[in-house]
Amino acid sequence: MQRSTVAAVTGIGVVATCGLGKEAFWQGLLTEPADGDRRIADWDPSPWFENPKEVRRTDRFAQFAVAACDMALKESQLADSYEASRIATMVATGIGGIGTLEAQVVVQHTKGSRRVSPFLVPMMMGNSAGATLSMRHGFQGPCETIVTACAAGTHSIGRSLDLLRLGRCDVVIAGGAEASITPTALAGFGNMTALSKSGHSMPFDKNRDGFVIAEGAAILVLEDFEKAKARGANILGLITGSASTADAHHITAPSPQGEGAIRCAAEAIKDAGLQPSDIRQVNAHGTSTPLNDSAETKAMATLFGADGPPTTSIKGVTGHSFGAAGALEAASVLLSMEKKLIPPTLGTKEVDPGIAAAVDIVTEARPWEPGPTISNSFGFGGHNGTIVLEPAPAD
């Protein structure tokens, strides 16, 4: 395939419960997690903001995006390599500024309408993270927000690849951010029995009983491959294909046999100019819910057959951060290629026998020779997203 049809990754920024920055994040993926909600402990946004007023006027999920973006831009060393009008912003979220919304609803109820913050709307709206990045850095290309529940982070990277291929821009700041561990969100997810009652995230385990809610953000700097190469950028990896499909089945449950997931992964692989036999790793959505893990396993077994590639889920460590999940998982794949190590599916003690018989679940860190990898994300509403990532070329 012509390299002009792929995106070069030149910067990675991560804010996660297991570590701030990509190296701390990677080490966290190899460390047995604690139980319970995955919150960013002792979060201090001040290093990334000029003053406390700016912090107060930025919802927590957008604060995460600001920090991750700054990390990614620093690594990419974009400087003045591109016209501002040629730099796009595509930051996803599943829920947006729900923390601000909840707090201001309480203010309205207890203190009256006149005490509601005038910053309520700009802080709670889902596009506030992407808009904030665009304004902070002067990016004047397309600035859009994907909101497809738990598939949003992956969709943002896939749509960014589309923008580069269409020639609408030369660079896209892509990823996702989420901060939705609030009393009402916890109540809602708990009452729909989606959350783990045990407090354990254990993807593909025979005793899995739901996901563990999480927060975080990941931002990738994606560039037109030829332009990145011409400016001498350090290319960390490639995004070579993507796809998006819908189950059209149920608002929260996946299609039981994984039909939508099969089509999505197959189309992404085809989009990358590859065959299923070329895939060397699957980064699974792997939420630790009975229905998702079962459907995804059936889909991957159907697509790859009995000798499919090793499959891992990092949600045993990170928990499920909804719109940020796919971006965090893309970062983990790129680091897996750099380190030549597939991170384990931690939190999982005994793989469900039916799953183990169909898919090779990585339960201990596994050395590998990096090659084409797919990363799956599935969201409430029947949204499916898959991207294909490949190692940076040797030349």
Which active-site residues does the annotation give? 150, 285, 320
What is the 3 state secondary structure string of the chain? CCHHHCEEEEEEEEEECCEECHHHHHHHHCCCCCCCCECCCCCCCHHHCCCHHHHHCCCHHHHHHHHHHHHHHHHHCCCCCCCHHHEEEEEECCCCCHHHHHHHHHHHHHHCHHHCCCCHHHHHCCCHHHHHHHHHHCCCCCEECCCCHHHHHHHHHHHHHHHHHHCCCCEEEEEEEECCCCHHHHHHHHHCCCECCCCCCCCCECCCCCECEECEEEEEEEEEHHHHHHCCCCCCEEEEEEEEEECCCCCCCCCCCCHHHHHHHHHHHHHCCCCHHHCCEEECCCCCCHHHHHHHHHHHHHHHCCCCCCEECCHHHHCECHHHHHHHHHHHHHHHHHHCEECCCCCCCCECHHHHHHCCECCCCEECCCCCEEEEEEECCCEEEEEEEECCCCC
